[in-house]
């Protein structure tokens, strides 16, 4: 395959970026999208140019490091996959592909396609935990039975990989899907009840402080989420938030 | 007498850990506030250690190269975590878990360490549930278990195929709580480039801010290395792209002995390499072997026809297939341990029976299981005389429920439907049992420098059992280090803050800068990946699934030449004082080029076959076990601990003799 790539290049956070055109050849359908970029980078290094910077690590769709807005879609055209698991067989010989970073005010560009998602970490710092000491002196794990449906729903919410596709897909750059996934996980489990009120308020406040937008229920986040995190989590977080706001002192 | 003191407490095996905890020194809460600890790596071991130490009151600084601690590669573990809970009432106990782990490790691990691991395993599950980790549950609301890796009990707790992710996010949440309290300072996108010693003790690190390129000095009273394994020395592995040995190797160069570098686990069920462009390999959970049958064609011409695309797997009759594991190991069949299954696949492919275009793949076939489940399901659904199509459909549904996410992942990568034609698999480098030598307290041979999780060598001997890596990482971080490090730090309560404007830090920083400069100033012929791929090929061909004296000697020579070439000719574009991913890779590959040689040297020294280390010269020559691995307890019942002496070829071997007072040494037989 021969491809034309239109890639966002930006030398650092303060610089003004722009799209640069590249041609790559010798691309095979079995390559992942990131392996295609590896090929491009090898070509750039051989020519003495600066390779394109992008985040990636596990390359098996679970660490959440890779991102990329590909032809306007987070993680590209395939469903339920991250960019590292997107394969070039989804493209045709001669295609032109636009590759940009995830765009959001709260995700500033670090360099080229690499973005700063530390805002997500700070939302988790604000309340994404159960305050239990890690000494191991807790009750037996089977002392609190958990209804299987609740446990399964909590698990489904907990599979969020924190990649930020939901934010990039949203016209408001909202982080509601991300935040609600963690709020839901704990709201569904008995262990999470004690701090439920404080948790949802703290996490939502932090989310707002980071400059993420609000949710207007377009549902783009759910469609683009590589892990299929459900919009129901946002509804659950809204309920939690409302009831917390009513009882808070 | 060896200079290695494993500091195993006296007394009966079952009492050692309790007694040890009761007699070691503690640091009072007020003094903990004046003590700093650095933790490098934020996976299961590092994340759990950082959270627990911070909770105890120490000031913790964490370092990870990723943009968030949540991305550490523990996240990719699929299958589960072992714990001797005996919830199933099937006879499990601490002793059985201990026994299985020592036997599975082919009798090359330390009894006392492994027993402690088994002892704290149950606590891990309690802890994680309290933290809100959503383990799989039964309809009654209690925790579910599955069996794993050929042991005789069901002791594996799991969260679908994402157990590592859920446990890591649990540790990350515990870290977040301490970050919010101000007890952990997290340095993300930072890489440790050197360990700083003051008066012989580990007192800090030199780190590079990967965004700005700035070189930083960080001091502490102790340094914990939880930086994972070194499987990426093979270039292709199931490790993350960034996984590296740098932190451990820098400590090794500063005096920490490196133990058993040749013990590598090669996992039998990975998606095969598809071409030269391949950057990493993807594991398919071992659980698939419960239902899949592994085979290659009986006749070589059929294998050739399949490779050329002229014949399909499904066109071969039962008689034309060689279910080689069932043939060779009738007792365990497709469920032989990982090392045995991997070598058997390689043997068939080397003999010319491989089934993909590269000739390096075997089939993992679910057709029989689909039929079996389909018939069962038809019976339980009350369908009399089901049609073949009904059986197929019902059977596929059962398989989808059990392995749906894995089948989907396979289809995304390979572009073939594994319900309709058998999966293709091949072994891949997955885990390294070797690592920094540590004593019972997890302290390396440098006072104040500790190693936890995959970065140390301690618990898995020559082969790790499935679902035990997660257990060890969390045991080290939550339950072992927080006790043992206090004993060491109790002597530091009057030390005060460690200054960084000292000659030791000056010197370490100077050396780090010089090394970076040297990397930046190569003659510029080849990229970093060029060297990494070359190294990987040498390692895979000569230090891979089977090893022999000739190949290992060649490997040592070739790696040393490659290293020399690398330092002269590597091409690193960009600058050192800005974000530079090629420079990061170059530093890591430079260390792999040293470790790789030590790896081969260690494999050469160990003239026996044990666990993941198979020496072609050491096989059973007669009897039922003919051709199988031959362990040599008389001459090699030791841990190899290598001391750095300059070039890897000069490394000095120290032996820690292993003693087995509670377990009788036996041949592992799966016939």
- pLDDT score recorded for residue B239: 97
pLDDT in tens, B589-624: 999 999 999 999 999 999 999 999 999 999 999 988
Residues of B in contact with A142 (CB under 8 A): 87, 142-143
Evaluated on CA atoms B478, B482, B484, B488, the torsion sign reads positive
**CB contacts, 8 Å: A49 with chain B:** 573
Q: Do A118 and B67 touch (CB under 8 A)?
A: yes
Residue B146 is given by DSSP the state B
Interface contact flag, A134 B48, Cβ < 8 Å: yes
Nearest CA in chain A to B170: A129
Question: Are A85 and A182 within 8 A, CB to CB?
Answer: no
Measured between CA atoms, the residue of chain B closest to residue A139 is B126
B59-63/B36-40 β-pairing: parallel
Which of A58, A120, A148 is opposite residue B137, by nearest beta carbon?
A148
CA of B523 to nearest chain A CA: how many angstroms apart? Answer: 12
Which residue from A49, A78, A146 is facing B137, i.e. has the nearest CB? A146
Q: How does pLDDT run across A122-145, given as a tens digit for each residue?
A: 999 999 999 999 977 889 999 999
Among A14, A49, A116, A134, the strongest candidate for a mutation testing the B interface, having the largest count of B CBs within 10 A, is A134
Which residues in chain A are closer than 8 Å to B51, comparing Cβ atoms?
A: 134
* Chain A residue numbers touching B180 (CB-CB < 8 A): 125-127
List the single residue in A with minimal CA-CA distance to B182: A125
pLDDT at residue number A51: 97
Task: Find, in chain A, the residue whose alpha carbon is nearest to that of B283.
Answer: A60
Q: Do B412 and A141 touch (CB under 8 A)?
A: no
Contact B75 A129 (CB under 8 A): no
Rounded distance between C-alpha atoms, residue A100 and residue A114, angstroms: 9
Q: Is the pLDDT of residue B331 over 90?
A: no
pLDDT at residue B289, rounded to an integer: 87
**Whole-number pLDDT of residue B260:** 98
| Residue B1 clears pLDDT 60, i.e. is over it | no
Smallest CA–CA distance, residue A214 to chain B, in Å, is: 24
How would you write B537-583 as a 3-class SS string? HHHHHHCCCCECHHHHHHHHHHHHHHHHHHHHHECCCCCCCCCCHHH
For residue range B244-287, what is the model confidence (pLDDT) as tens digits? Answer: 999 999 999 999 999 999 999 999 999 999 888 999 999 988 88
Nearest by CB to A31, which of B188, B277, B579? B277
* Residue B338 among the catalytic residues: yes
User: Mean pLDDT across the stretch A93-100?
Assistant: 98
Three-state secondary structure call for residue A148: helix
Question: Are B166 and A145 a contacting pair at CB < 8 A?
Answer: no
The verdict on a CB contact (< 8 Å) between A38 and B135 is no
Stretch B360-378: mean pLDDT: 96
ipTM greater than 0.85: yes
Bridging pattern class, strands B638-643 and B258-259: antiparallel
Q: Which residues of chain B does A141 touch, with a Cβ-Cβ cutoff of 8 Å?
A: 85, 125-126, 128-130, 135, 143
Is the CB of B188 less than 8 angstroms away from the CB of A134? no
Angle CA A184–A189–A193, to nearest 5: 90
CB contact under 8 A, B76 and A139: no
Choose the catalytic residue: B254, B293, B307, B338: B338
Which of B140, B282, B478 is the closest to A136 by Cβ?
Answer: B478
What's the confidence (pLDDT) of residue B149? 64
Work out the minimum CA distance from A227 to partner chain B, whole angstroms. 11
Rounded to the nearest angstrom, the minimum Cα separation between A140 and chain B is: 5
- Cβ contacts (< 8 Å) between A45 and chain B: which residues? 527, 571, 573, 582
**pLDDT surpasses 60 at B21:** yes
Mean pLDDT of the A63-74 span: 98
| Average pLDDT of the residues in B508-530 | 95
pTM of the full predicted structure?
Answer: 0.97
The tens digit of pLDDT for each residue in B75-102 reads: 999 889 999 999 999 999 999 999 999 9
Do A148 and B134 lie within an 8 Å CB cutoff? no
In angstroms, the CA A126 to CA B120 distance is 31
Comparing C-alpha atoms, which of B156, B129, B80, B170 is closest to residue A144? B129
Q: CB distance A62–B131 less than 8 Å?
A: no
Binned at pLDDT 50, 70 and 90, residue B24 comes out as very high
- Closest CA of chain A from B269, distance in Å: 15
CA dihedral B149, B153, B159, B164 (to 10 degrees): -50
Least Cα distance to A122 among A139, A104, A107 occurs for A107
Q: Is the pLDDT of residue A161 over 90?
A: yes
Q: Which chain B residues are closer than 8 Å to A64 by Cβ?
A: 70-71
Q: Is the pLDDT of residue B332 over 60?
A: yes
Contact B233, B539 (CB under 8 A): yes
pLDDT at residue B161, as a whole number = 84
Closest Cα to residue A233, out of A221, A245, A248? A221
Q: How far from B142 is each of A147, A148, A194, B52, B590, CA to CA, in Å?
A: 8, 8, 21, 27, 49
B416 → chain A, closest CA residue: A30
- Name which of B125, B132, B579 is nearest A110 (Cβ-Cβ): B579
Residue A149 neighbours by CB under 8 Å, 6+ apart: none
CB B170 within 8 A of CB B128: yes
Residue A154: is its pLDDT beyond 80? yes
Residue with tokens 């290049």: A9
Sign of CA dihedral B30, B34, B37, B38: positive
Q: How confident is the model at residue B150 (pLDDT cuts 50, 70, 90)?
A: low
Let me know: does B515 contact B583? Beta carbons within 8 Å.
Answer: no
The CA distance from A60 to the nearest CA of chain B, in Å, is 7
Of A53, A85, A162, the CB nearest to B579: A53
| CA-based nearest distance A235→chain B, Å | 21
pLDDT digits (tens, 9 = 90+) for B27-46: 999 999 999 999 999 999 99
pLDDT in tens, A22-47: 999 999 999 999 999 999 999 999 99
Q: Do B137 and A140 touch (CB under 8 A)?
A: no
Nearest to A162 among B68, B129, B179 (CB): B68
Q: Is the pLDDT of residue B406 over 90?
A: no
Residue with tokens 């627990």: B52
Q: Do A89 and B415 touch (CB under 8 A)?
A: yes
When pLDDT is cut at 50, 70 and 90, the band that residue B152 belongs to is confident
Interface with B, mutate which of A11, A56, A136 (most B CBs under 10 A): A136
* B51, B76, B574 ranked by CB distance to A50: nearest: B574
The 3-state DSSP class for residue B628 equals coil
Whether B464 contacts B456, CB under 8 Å? no
Residue contact A191–B165, C-beta within 8 A: no
Please give the pLDDT value at position A249: 65
Residue range B222-253, pLDDT digits in tens:
999 999 999 999 999 999 999 999 999 999 99
Select the residue of A31, A56, A159 nearest B241 (Cβ to Cβ): A56
| Residue A84 burial class via C-beta count within 10 angstroms: exposed 0-12, middle 13-18, buried 19 and up | buried
Q: Cβ of A145 and B479 within 8 Å?
A: no
- For the CA atoms of B393, B398, B403, B409, the dihedral, rounded to the nearest 10 degrees, stands at 20
> Does the beta-carbon distance from B68 to A117 stay under 8 Å?
yes
What number of C-beta contacts closer than 8 Å exist between A and B? Answer: 213
Tokens at residue B394, please? 């019902």
Q: Provide the pLDDT for residue B335.
A: 84
Q: Chain A: nearest CA to B491, how far in angstroms?
A: 23
Kindly give, in sequence order, each residue whose CB lies less than 8 Å from that of residue B575, ignoring residues fewer than 6 positions away.
B213, B520
Taking an 8 Å cut-off on Cβ atoms, the answer to whether B176 and A128 are in contact is yes
> With contacts defined as CB-CB under 8 Å, which chain B residues touch A131?
177
Range name among A184-198, B27-41, B322-336, B498-512 with the lowest pLDDT average: B322-336
Strand partners, B348: none
Q: Please indicate whether, in this complex, the C-beta atoms of A145 and B142 are within 8 angstroms of each other.
A: yes
Distance CA B590, CA B593 (A): 5
DSSP string, A68-94: -EETTEET-SSSS--GGG-BGGGS-TT
Residue A64 Cα, gap to closest chain B Cα (Å): 7
Rounded to the nearest integer, the mean pLDDT of chain B is 95
């Amino acid at each position: 395959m021969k491809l034309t790539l239109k890639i966002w290049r930006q030398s650092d956070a303060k610089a003004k970026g722009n799209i640069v055109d590249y041609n790559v050849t010798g691309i095979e359908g079995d390559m992942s999208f990131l392996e295609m970029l590896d090929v491009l980078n090898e070509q750039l290094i051989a020519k003495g140019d600066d390779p394109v910077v992008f985040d990636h690590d596990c390359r098996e769709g679970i660490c959440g490091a890779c991102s990329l807005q590909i032809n306007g879609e987070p993680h590209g055209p395939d469903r339920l996959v991250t960019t590292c698991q997107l394969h070039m067989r989804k493209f045709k010989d001669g295609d032109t592909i636009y590759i940009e970073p995830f765009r959001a005010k709260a995700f500033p560009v670090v360099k080229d396609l690499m973005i700063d998602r530390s805002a997500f970490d700070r939302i988790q710092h604000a309340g994404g935990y159960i305050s239990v000491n890690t000494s191991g002196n807790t009750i037996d794990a089977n002392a609190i039975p958990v209804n299987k449906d609740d446990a399964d729903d909590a698990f489904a919410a907990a599979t969020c990989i924190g990649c930020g596709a939901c934010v990039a897909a949203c016209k408001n750059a909202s982080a509601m899907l991300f935040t609600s996934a963690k709020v839901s996980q704990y709201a569904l489990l008995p262990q999470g009840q004690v701090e439920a009120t404080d948790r949802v308020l703290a996490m939502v406040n932090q989310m707002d402080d980071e400059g993420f937008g609000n949710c207007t229920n377009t549902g783009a986040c759910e469609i683009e989420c590589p892990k299929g995190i459900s919009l129901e989590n946002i509804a659950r977080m809204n309920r939690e938030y409302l009831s917390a706001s009513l009882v808070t002192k | 007498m060896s200079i290695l003191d494993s500091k195993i407490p006296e007394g009966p095996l079952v009492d050692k850990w309790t007694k040890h905890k009761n007699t070691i020194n503690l640091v009072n809460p007020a003094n903990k506030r004046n003590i700093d600890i650095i933790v490098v790596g934020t996976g299961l071991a590092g994340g759990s250690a950082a959270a627990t130490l911070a909770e105890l009151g120490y000031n913790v600084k964490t370092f990870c190269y990723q943009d968030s601690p949540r991305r550490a590669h523990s996240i990719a573990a699929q299958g589960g975590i072992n714990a001797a809970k005996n919830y199933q009432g099937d006879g499990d106990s601490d002793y059985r878990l201990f026994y299985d782990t020592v036997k599975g490790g082919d009798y090359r691990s330390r009894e006392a360490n492994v027993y402690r691991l088994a002892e704290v395993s149950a606590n891990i599950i309690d802890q994680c549930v309290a933290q809100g980790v959503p383990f799989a549950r039964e309809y009654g609301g209690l925790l579910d278990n599955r069996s794993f890796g050929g042991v005789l009990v069901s002791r594996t707790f799991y969260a679908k195929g994402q157990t590592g992710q859920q446990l890591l996010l649990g540790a990350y949440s515990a870290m977040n709580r301490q970050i919010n309290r101000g007890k952990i300072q997290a340095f993300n996108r930072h890489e440790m480039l050197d360990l700083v010693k003051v008066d012989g003790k580990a007192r800090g690190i030199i780190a590079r801010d990967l965004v700005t390129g700035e070189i930083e000095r960080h001091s502490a009273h102790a340094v914990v290395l939880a930086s994972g394994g070194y499987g990426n020395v093979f270039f292709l592995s199931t490790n993350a792209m960034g996984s590296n040995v740098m932190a451990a190797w820098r400590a090794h160069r500063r005096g920490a002995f490196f133990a058993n570098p040749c013990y590598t686990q090669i996992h039998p069920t990975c998606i095969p390499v598809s071409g030269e462009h391949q950057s990493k390999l993807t594991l398919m959970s071992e659980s698939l072997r419960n239902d899949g049958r592994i085979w290659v064609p009986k006749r070589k011409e059929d294998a050739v026809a399949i490779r050329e695309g002229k014949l399909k797997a499904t066109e071969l009759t039962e008689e034309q297939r060689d279910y080689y594991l069932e043939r060779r190991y009738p007792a365990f069949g497709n469920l032989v341990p990982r090392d045995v299954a991997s070598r058997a696949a390689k043997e068939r492919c080397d003999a010319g029976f491989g089934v993909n275009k590269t000739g390096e793949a075997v089939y993992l076939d679910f057709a029989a299981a689909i039929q079996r489940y389909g018939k069962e399901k038809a019976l339980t659904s009350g369908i009399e005389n089901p049609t073949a199509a009904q059986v197929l459909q019902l059977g596929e549904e059962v398989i989808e429920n059990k392995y749906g996410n894995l089948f989907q992942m396979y289809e995304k990568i390979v572009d073939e439907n594994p319900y309709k034609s058998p999966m293709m698999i091949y072994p891949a480098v997955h885990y390294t049992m070797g690592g920094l030598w540590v004593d019972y307290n997890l302290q390396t041979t440098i006072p104040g420098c500790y190693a936890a999780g995959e970065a140390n060598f301690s618990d898995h001997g020559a082969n790790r059992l499935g679902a035990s890596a997660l257990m060890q990482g969390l045991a080290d971080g939550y339950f072992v280090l927080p006790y043992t490090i206090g004993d060491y730090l109790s002597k530091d309560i009057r030390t005060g803050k460690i200054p960084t404007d000292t000659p030791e830090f000056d010197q370490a920083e100077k050396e780090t800068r010089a090394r970076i400069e040297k990397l930046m100033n190569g003659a510029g012929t080849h990229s970093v990946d060029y060297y990494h791929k070359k190294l990987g090929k040498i390692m895979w061909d000569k230090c891979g699934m089977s090893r022999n004296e000739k190949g290992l000697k060649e490997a040592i020579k070739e790696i040393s030449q490659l290293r020399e070439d690398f330092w002269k000719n590597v091409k690193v574009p960009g600058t050192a004082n800005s974000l530079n991913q090629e420079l990061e890779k170059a530093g890591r590959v430079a260390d792999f080029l040293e470790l790789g040689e030590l790896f081969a040297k260690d494999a050469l020294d160990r003239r026996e076959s044990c666990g993941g280390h198979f020496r072609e010269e050491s096989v059973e020559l007669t009897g039922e076990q003919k051709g199988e691995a031959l362990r040599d307890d008389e001459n090699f019942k030791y841990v190899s601990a290598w001391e750095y002496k300059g070039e890897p070829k000069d490394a000095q071997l120290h032996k820690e003799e292993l003693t087995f007072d509670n377990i009788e040494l036996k041949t592992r037989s799966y016939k």
